[in-house]
A and B are shown apart, each in its own frame.
Chain A
């Protein structure tokens, strides 16, 4: 399956700053999900936005979805050193449960 694009590929910021990651996808979707992965370990689900939603919030996370542009963004506000990880978007396609992952953004938050 073709993967989507994410940018930036790497992002380095200071604690307290905001981090924005962008994702584009290629297929029709039911939803767009964001995951975090620490050092090649398992995936941690962050947030899911449905195809009929435009914006969603969860704690310090804000996700937007533009289905006309096939793009999404993840904003992490007031970042912490513990947010250092790789972040992946994943497009939930019409066949439920199957995900197409973006290339990922490596976020480094400096104390």
Chain B
């Protein structure tokens, strides 16, 4: 069964509103969560890394004030897209690293398709 649960799987929102995406690790504790973004017809790119108990780190070009990341517990990380605009429409997917297991496949959430109208 799934070890990472991501919700919602899709959302449509109006410009200017905020959207929260949740990512839960079900079978293990995740002190870190990778958040990736995939624009239409493009590849996945790392946006940011959330860390339980400390601030998230953002990749170059990602606005930290727009994409709020909170790692509230060892099983939950959230990404909030604030004041969403159509250019934020994308596929967002989370991935918790598996502690102590370097050469194993990565876990991914189911992904969230965000459409801003």
Binding site for B on A (CB under 8 A): 1, 3, 30-31, 33, 40-43, 45, 48, 50, 88, 90, 92, 96-104
Contact = CB atoms under 8 A, between A and B. Distances in A.
A92 B97 CA distance: 11
B45 to A, nearest CB: 7
B103 A48 contact: yes
A40 B113 contact: yes
A25 B106 CA distance: 18
B78 to A, nearest CB: 19
Query: Max chain B CB contacts within 10 Å: which of A88, A101, A102, A103?
Result: A101
Contact of A98 (B42, B43, B49, B109): B49
B104 A42 contact: no
A17 to B, nearest CB: 24
B102 A98 contact: no
Contacts of A98: 34, 46, 49, 97
Interface stretch (B14-22, B69-77, B88-96): B88-96
B54 interface: no
Interface residues on B, range: 20 to 34
Contacts, number: 67
Tell me if A's interface is mostly helix, strand, loop or mixed. Answer: strand
Given A40-B38, A43-B93, A96 B102 contact: yes
Instruction: Rank and list the top 3 A-B pairs by shortest CB-CB distance, nearest first.
Output: A97-B97, A45-B105, A96-B102
Contacts of A31: 102-103
Given A42-B93, A42-B111, A97-B95, A1 B46 contact: yes
B26 interface: no
Contacts of B38: 40
A3 B95 contact: no
A85 B58 CA distance: 30
Given A40-B38, A42-B110, 5 more contacts: A30-B102, A30-B103, A45-B105, A96-B101, A104-B42
A99 B95 contact: yes
A84 to B, nearest CB: 16
A101 B97 contact: no
